[in-house]
Structure 1
Amino acid sequence: MLRLRSCFLAQLLSSPVASPGPPLQRLVSVAAPAVSANPSSFAVEEYLVSTCGLTRPQAIKASPKLSHLKSPTNPDAVLAFLAGLGLSGADVAALVAKDPKFLCARVERTLARNVDELTGLGLSRSQIARLISLTSGARRFRCRSIVSRLHYYLPLFGSSENLLRALNRNFYLISADIERTVKPKVALLHECGLGACDIVKLCRSAPRMLSTSLERTRAMVECAQGLGLPRGSAMFKHVLDAVSFISEDKIAAKVDYLKKTFRWSDAEVGMALSRSPMMLRRSKDALRSKSEFLISEVGLEPEYIAHRPAMLNYSLDGRLRPRYYVVKFLRANGLLDRDRDYYSVFCFVEKVFVRRYVCPYKEAAPHLAQDYAAACSGELPANFKFTRAKNRQ
Structure 2
Amino acid sequence: MLSIRRSSISLIRCLAPNTKSSNLYGSSHFRMPLSFFTSKAELPSPETSFIVKYLIDSVGLSSEKAIKASKFIAHIKSPSQPDSVLHFFKQNGFTDADIKRIILQHSRLLCANVDSTLKPKIEALSKLGFTKTQFVKLVTASPTALNYLNYNNVRPRIEFLRAFLGSNDKIVKAFSHDVTLLARSFEKIIKPNIIFLTECQVSDAIIGFLLTKVRLIIGRPVNVLKAAVKRIDELGIPRGSWMFYQALRSICSNTSEQVDAKIKLLSGLGFSEPEISSAIRKQPYVLSLSEKNLRETVTFLVKEAGCDHSYLSSHPNIFTFSLSKRLVPRNLVLKLLKAKGILKKDPGFFNVSSISESQFVEKFIFRYGEKMPELHDVYLSASAGEVPS
Match of 1:110 among 106, 117, 120: 120
Partner secondary structure for residue 183 of structure 2: coil
1:99 aligns with 109
Match of 2:301 among 294, 297, 300: 294
Q: Distance in 2 between matches of 1:339 and 1:365?
A: 18
Which 10-residue stretch deviates more, 168-177 or 371-380?
Answer: 168-177
Contact 2:174 2:211 in 1 (8 A): yes
Distance apart, 1:222 and its partner CA: 0.6
Distance apart, 1:373 and its partner CA: 1.9
Partner secondary structure for residue 345 of structure 1: helix
**Which amino acid counterpart does residue 243 of structure 1 have in structure 2?**
I
1:260 aligns with 268
Distance apart, 1:167 and its partner CA: 3.1
Distance apart, 1:224 and its partner CA: 1.1
Partner secondary structure for residue 272 of structure 1: helix
1:241 aligns with 249
Identical columns (%): 24
Distance 1:148 1:48, change over 3 A: farther
The yes-or-no answer on 1:202 pairing with 2:207 is: no
The yes-or-no answer on 1:321 pairing with 2:328 is: yes
Match of 2:144 among 136, 140, 144: 136
Contact 2:202 2:241 in 1 (8 A): no
Distance 1:103 1:144, change over 3 A: farther
Q: Distance in 1 between matches of 2:52 and 2:365?
A: 64
**Which amino acid counterpart does residue 211 of structure 1 have in structure 2?**
G
TM-score, length-normalised on structure 2? Answer: 0.72
Unaligned ranges ≥5, structure 2? 1-48
Match of 2:386 among 376, 379, 387: 379
Distance apart, 1:146 and its partner CA: 3.4
Q: Distance in 2 between matches of 1:265 and 1:163?
A: 44
Contact 1:95 1:138 in 2 (8 A): no
Partner secondary structure for residue 293 of structure 1: helix
Superposed, which structure 2 residues align to 1:1-393 within 5 Å? 61-62=72-73, 79-87=86-94, 88=96, 90=100, 93-94=103-104, 97-100=107-110, 102-106=112-116, 110-111=120-121, 113-114=123-124, 116-117=126-127, 120-121=129-130, 123=131, 125-133=132-140, 134-141=142-149, 145-146=153-154, 149-153=157-161, 156-160=164-168, 162-203=170-211, 206-261=214-269, 263-380=270-387
Distance apart, 1:314 and its partner CA: 0.6
Distance apart, 1:235 and its partner CA: 1.3
Partner secondary structure for residue 361 of structure 1: coil
Distance 1:302 1:111, change over 3 A: closer
Q: Deviations over 1:169-226 (max 9, x none)?
A: 4312113333442222112222323223322433456412111211111111111111
Distance 1:276 1:47, change over 3 A: closer
Q: Distance in 2 between matches of 1:332 and 1:60?
A: 64
**Which amino acid counterpart does residue 299 of structure 2 have in structure 1?**
E
Unaligned ranges ≥5, structure 1? 1-44, 386-393
Distance 1:204 1:154, change over 3 A: same
Distance apart, 1:85 and its partner CA: 1.8
Distance 1:254 1:103, change over 3 A: same
Higher Rg of the two aligned structures: 1
**Which amino acid counterpart does residue 225 of structure 2 have in structure 1?**
T
Q: Distance in 1 between matches of 2:125 and 2:179?
A: 18
Q: Distance in 1 between matches of 2:381 and 2:363?
A: 18
Which 10-residue stretch deviates more, 201-210 or 299-308?
Answer: 201-210
Partner secondary structure for residue 113 of structure 2: helix
**Which amino acid counterpart does residue 345 of structure 2 have in structure 1?**
R
Q: Supply the RMSD in Å over aligned alpha carbons.
A: 3.5
2:10 aligns with none
Q: Distance in 2 between matches of 1:340 and 1:348?
A: 12
Larger RCO of the pair (alpha carbons < 8 Å, separation 6+)? 2
Partner secondary structure for residue 207 of structure 1: coil
Q: Distance in 1 between matches of 2:298 and 2:122?
A: 59
Contact 1:220 1:245 in 2 (8 A): no
Q: Distance in 1 between matches of 2:190 and 2:208?
A: 13
Larger % of helix: which?
1
Q: Distance in 1 between matches of 2:70 and 2:293?
A: 47
Partner secondary structure for residue 276 of structure 2: helix
Distance 1:377 1:271, change over 3 A: same
Contact 2:203 2:240 in 1 (8 A): no
**Which amino acid counterpart does residue 85 of structure 1 have in structure 2?**
N
